């Protein structure tokens, strides 16, 4: 990456580093005090480490480019020929792209929190730059089922069950009926139904007067003024807390309790078991100012003092981290349950650099190395009170690594961090994002390189597809995006991730994850479809909101994932030949109408995302698609769309003039959508792209992603986005 300094920033020289003053002040005055790590030790250790590591970082990026050049040349010399998978595989082995698998092994990760090893459930991903969002995510460990049903399309607005602006008792009744069915399914009574209960249950001498089909499901309760206020149950290691209103003021806040003959005020589901606090794809962090914002929020989470003030419906509100939840066990003993999601931290990958720190040669600091030192140092504050990790482990999810050598490099980074911060060996644990082609086909060896610290592997369909298209750019035009999910390589990719994870001993020790439900308004569809992730053997799967987490949690009550993993461990493993099958269209016969519709769909997503990224510094948002359906867009969705158009341009499926005309047409539609979008209120005044194409930095950045997409490193969007965002800021 070239030098992209924020011209406003002042730099301070320490050893061989030039450090942005805002970052230096944050580290010295907020991050390090209270950690026993002196600022001299931190900066001298960082200086030594980053100058050693940056050399290796650069070498690894050069290897990526050399391998890509060899793959391009191989396909060019065989243009028009049918790909021989056997010869292709031998070629990939010869150039070192595909590694030989070593002997079987089991991961040796230790000190993993139970949220990772023992509990299967939803996983939130949230931008670290938005304090309100990240607090909502951290607090999404416990979410109201009643609210989640009432406010979404899981309960249809038929037969008078409209949401409306005020409480609708008809809809409330349907919420209660749905919830009773949930209780009958997952906390069944013996020879009875929750729907038939006439009296409020009682607990006397710590004994529950309900006859449960599985008595051990009752694990706790609470009382207020000697009246039952809460019953706690467990199913598949997930808790369900039934709240009762026996004369308090609960029903003022939730009127459903008024309609309930046994006064169930609400049902609270243990929902987002883990949350990825994201410094990467869902944020727009291009300089010291942006990085410090994210780092401060992460530090606030680790200190436990992050809070935010906001106004809603004319009222001032405060948000802070929830306390742990208190209960009494059936043996009469008091106990606590974690009140918050276990927070994981996603750093950036190896590609990006950031002008927050300049090295001795004047180049920008590799951003992933900076992230590792700063975010790990923040975790030192959590060790004192164990507000997040009860085992004093640091959880870093590392994206966009290409193959085992880059995994080994991440291990080296973490070793350097552990030394500077006086941490124990392998105290920093790693989540491997299986989202690059060279990692997928070498996943077992990637895990081997990190077997002492890996706690998580996860598939990322969008980034993986973007890399698939970029790696195989020379083969031919790629199939349409809608066809990708049914292609042979995708099925092999998703199965391979689970197969390898299970063979390496992940079950009961580490997470095997699946990707995001991207349509936050279509919860009914999610309830029908997202259960496939559990059937595929995933301990966790990504959701876009706390509400989605609560609803998706019901899937984990329905399926015992650990039992499913035992079953899947006996199947035949995914074939490498399927994983290497390239999804190109052999002699496509698409009509011009089909081509234009695909281009419009891609252009809509790119423009809708980029204009918010460049102009508003919003790294993840709900962007309406061509049909008006809100889709969660981040850099991964932008990568696949831009690479798809770039591929079609390269192979003559469409022309540059045709694409530019469509980009301009879709820019007008995106402008209209954004001007009407209530979520854009409170942002900087929206600047339309249409009518201002030559001066709109956002529009020009979107076009660059498409017209220069083929030559971007691994097809990534970050270099173009970061450069243009800095142009906008300066």
> For the segment 573-601, what is each residue's pLDDT rounded down to a tens digit?
999 999 999 999 988 999 999 999 999 99
Distance CA 238, CA 553 (A): 8
Report yes or no: 118 and 286 within 8 Å, Cβ to Cβ: no
Residues in the chain, total: 730
Res 2: pLDDT: 47
**pLDDT of the residue at 376:** 98
Q: What's the confidence (pLDDT) of residue 254?
A: 60
Mutual angle of helices 697-707 and 592-616, in 10-degree steps:
130
Helix (H) or strand (E) holding 20: strand 17-20
pLDDT at 252: 40
Q: Where are the beta strands (DSSP E) in 78-133?
A: 123-127
Q: Give me the catalytic one of 346, 438, 448, 639.
A: 346
34: number of Cβ within 10 Å: 11
Q: Are 699 and 337 in contact (CB under 8 A)?
A: no
**3-state DSSP assignment of residue 49:** helix
What is the signed CA dihedral for 124, 460, 497, 557, rounded to 10 degrees? Answer: 30
Which of the listed CATH numbers 2.60.40.10, 2.30.30.140, 1.10.357.10, 1.20.1220.12 matches domain 592-729?
Answer: 1.20.1220.12
Residue of 268, 270, 269, 264 lying closest to 195 (CA atoms) = 264
CATH superfamily ID and name for 141-270: Malate synthase G - maily-beta sub-domain (2.170.170.11)
Q: Which residues contact 533 (CB under 8 A, 6 or more apart)?
A: 514, 541, 555
Looking at the chain, the number of H-run helices and the number of E-run strands are 27, 25
3-state SS, residue 378: helix
Tokens for 552, please give them: 């998706």
State residue 652 phi and psi, 5-degree precision.
Answer: 75, 15
pLDDT at residue 331, as a whole number:
97
Which parts of the chain register pLDDT below 70?
Answer: 1-8, 247-258, 681-682
Diameter of the chain measured on Cα atoms: 81
SS3 556: helix
Residue among 113, 615, 634, 671 flagged as catalytic? 634
Q: How crowded is residue 682: how many other Cβ atoms within 10 Å of its Cβ?
A: 8
Residue with tokens 């790119």: 606
Q: Which residues contact 121 (CB under 8 A, 6 or more apart)?
A: 238, 270, 271, 272, 273, 274, 540, 553, 556
pLDDT at 6: 52
The label of the residue with tokens 């598939």 reads 459
Query: Where do the domains of the chain lie?
Result: 54-140+274-287+295-318+339-348+376-579, 141-270, 592-729
Residue 584 backbone dihedrals phi, psi, to 5 degrees: -100, 160
Structure tokens at 289: 């100012």
Q: Residue 346 catalytic?
A: yes
Span 54-140+274-287+295-318+339-348+376-579 CATH architecture: Alpha-Beta Barrel (3.20)
Distance CA 700, CA 681 (A): 24
């Amino acid at each position: 990456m070239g030098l992209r300094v924020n011209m406003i920033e002042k730099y301070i020289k320490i050893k061989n580093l030039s450090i942005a003053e805002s970052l230096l002040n944050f580290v010295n005055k907020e991050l390090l005090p209270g950690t026993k790590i002196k600022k001299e030790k931190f900066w001298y250790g960082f200086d030594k480490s980053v100058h050693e590591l940056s050399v290796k970082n650069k070498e690894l990026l050069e290897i990526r480019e050399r391998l890509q050049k060899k793959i391009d040349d191989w396909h060019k010399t065989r243009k028009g020929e049918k790909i021989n998978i056997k010869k292709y595989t031998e070629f990939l082995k010869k150039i070192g792209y595909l590694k030989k698998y070593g002997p079987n092994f089991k991961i040796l990760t230790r000190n993993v929190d139970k949220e990772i090893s023992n509990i299967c459930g939803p996983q939130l991903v949230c931008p670290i730059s938005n304090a309100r969002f990240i607090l909502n995510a951290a607090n999404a460990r416990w979410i109201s089922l009643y609210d989640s049903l009432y406010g979404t399309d899981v309960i249809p607005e038929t037969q008078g069950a409209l949401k409306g602006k005020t409480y609708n008792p008809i809809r409330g009744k349907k919420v209660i009926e749905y919830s009773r069915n949930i209780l009958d399914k997952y906390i069944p009574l013996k020879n009875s139904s929750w729907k038939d209960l006439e009296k409020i249950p009682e607990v006397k001498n710590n004994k529950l007067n309900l006859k449960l089909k599985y008595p051990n499901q009752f694990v706790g309760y609470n009382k207020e003024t000697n009246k039952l206020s809460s019953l706690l149950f467990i199913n598949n290691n997930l808790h369900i807390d039934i709240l009762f209103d026996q004369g308090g003021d609960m029903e003022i806040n939730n009127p459903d309790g008024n309609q309930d003959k046994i006064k169930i005020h609400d049902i609270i589901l243990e929902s987002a078991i883990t949350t990825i606090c994201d410094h990467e794809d869902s944020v727009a962090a291009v300089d010291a100012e942006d990085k410090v914002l994210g780092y401060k929020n992460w530090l606030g989470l680790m200190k436990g003092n992050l809070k935010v003030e906001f106004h809603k419906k004319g009222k001032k509100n405060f948000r802070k981290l929830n306390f742990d939840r208190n209960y009494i066990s059936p043996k009469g003993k008091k106990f606590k349950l974690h009140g918050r999601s276990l927070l994981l931290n996603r750093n950036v990958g190896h590609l990006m650099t950031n002008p927050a720190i300049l090295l001795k040669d004047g180049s920008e600091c590799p951003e992933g190395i900076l992230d590792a030192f700063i975010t790990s140092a923040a975790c030192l504050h959590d060790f004192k009170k164990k507000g997040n990790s009860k085992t004093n482990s640091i959880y870093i999810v590392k994206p966009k690594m290409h193959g085992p050598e880059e995994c080994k490099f991440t291990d080296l980074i973490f070793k350097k961090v552990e030394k500077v911060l006086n941490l124990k060996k392998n105290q920093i644990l790693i989540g491997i994002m299986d989202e690059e082609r060279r990692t997928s086909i070498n996943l077992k060896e990637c895990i081997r390189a990190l077997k002492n610290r890996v706690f998580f592997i996860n598939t990322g369909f969008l980034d993986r597809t973007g890399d698939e298209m970029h790696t195989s750019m020379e083969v031919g035009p790629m199939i349409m995006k809608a066809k990708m999910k049914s292609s042979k390589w995708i099925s092999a990719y998703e199965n391979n991730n689970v197969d390898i994870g299970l063979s390496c001993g992940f079950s009961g020790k580490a997470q095997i994850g699946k990707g995001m439900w991207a349509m936050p308004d279509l919860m009914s569809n999610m309830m029908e479809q997202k259960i496939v992730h559990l059937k595929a053997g995933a301990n966790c799967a990504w959701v876009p909101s706390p509400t989605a987490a609560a609803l998706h949690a019901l899937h984990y009550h329905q399926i015992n994932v650990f039992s499913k993993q035992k079953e899947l461990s006996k199947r035949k493993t995914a074939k490498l030949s399927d994983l290497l099958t390239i999804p190109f269209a052999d002699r496509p016969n698409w009509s011009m109408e089909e081509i234009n519709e695909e281009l419009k769909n891609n252009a809509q997503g790119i423009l809708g995302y980029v204009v918010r990224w460049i102009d508003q510094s919003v790294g993840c948002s709900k962007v309406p698609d061509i049909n008006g359906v809100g889709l969660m867009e981040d850099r991964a969705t932008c990568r696949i769309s831009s690479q798809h158009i770039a591929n079609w341009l390269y192979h003559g499926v469409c022309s540059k003039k045709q694409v530019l005309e469509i980009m301009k047409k879709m820019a007008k539609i995106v402008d209209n959508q954004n001007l009407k979008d209530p979520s854009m209120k409170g942002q900087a005044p929206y600047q339309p792209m249409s009518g201002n194409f030559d001066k709109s930095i956002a529009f020009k950045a979107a076009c660059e992603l498409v017209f220069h997409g083929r030559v971007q490193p691994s097809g990534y969007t970050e270099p173009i986005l970061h450069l243009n965002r800095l142009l906008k800021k300066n």
